Amino acid sequence: MANDNAVLVTEEGLKKLQEELTEFQGPRRKVVAERLKEAIAYGDLSENSEYEEAKNEQAFVEGRIVELEQMVANAQIIEDSKSSKGTVQIGTTVTVQNITEQDEAETYTIVGSTEAAPLEHKISNESPIGSALLGKEKNDVVKVKVPAGIFEYKILKVK
């Protein structure tokens, strides 16, 4: 039975989440507490913008800690499945060419949504291109509906 709250991540992605959680729980939380303490020392909290900013930052930090704790607790490591070698799946690096636009080939790694970083060529399995590529193989052509229209991509390489 699949966990509906599962957060799909690579080992590297889980490590980054854990590092961020450690940073927020330790140093970041202490800095915010110190800012709050200083702002309170200014007196009259009703018109104290430093206090308001510190309270807002504290709320953000505490909210992010809860979010990170849940993500780490529900983390499901993406395994490199040998049984479906050659098939696009989460964790796979795939080279595709937009044949509709005759663009240059681009290489992406399909990752869980928490690790998606398009500028680093890491696309989410939930994105239009990522979800269209899942389960496909080299030389397959997939149609992808994106805000700019419908494009066809040819899979050139899967690893």
By the 8 A CB rule, do 34 and 135 touch? no
By the 8 A CB rule, do 7 and 14 touch? no
Q: Quote the pLDDT of residue 110.
A: 92
Q: Quote the pLDDT of residue 84.
A: 55
When pLDDT is averaged across residues 146-158 and rounded to a whole number, the result is: 92
Within a domain: 88: no
Assess whether pLDDT exceeds 50 at residue 153.
Answer: yes
What CATH number does residue 32 fall under? Answer: 1.10.287.180
Within a domain: 149: yes
Mean pLDDT rounded to a whole number for the chain: 88
By the 8 A CB rule, do 143 and 100 touch? no
Our count of domains for the chain comes to 2
When pLDDT is averaged across residues 93-116 and rounded to a whole number, the result is: 91
What CATH number does residue 111 fall under? Answer: 3.10.50.30
| 46 and 102 both lie in a single domain | no
80 confidence band (pLDDT: 50, 70, 90): low
Residue 97: closest CA among 154, 31, 37, 12: 154
CA–CA dist 138, 131 (Å, integer): 16
3-state secondary structure of 74: coil
45-79: pLDDT as tens digits: 778 888 899 999 999 999 999 999 999 998 888 76
Contacts of 44 (CB under 8 A, 6+ apart): none
Query: Considering 25, 53, 77, which residue would you say is the last residue of a domain?
Result: 77
| 61 and 115 both lie in a single domain | no
Q: What is the reported pTM? A: 0.67
CA–CA dist 40, 51 (Å, integer): 6
When pLDDT is averaged across residues 125-151 and rounded to a whole number, the result is: 92
Q: In this structure, is the dihedral angle defined by the CA atoms of residues 116, 100, 158 and 125, taken in order, positive or negative?
A: positive
83 confidence band (pLDDT: 50, 70, 90): very low
Instruction: Name the β-bridge partners of 117.
Output: 122
| 72 and 119 both lie in a single domain | no
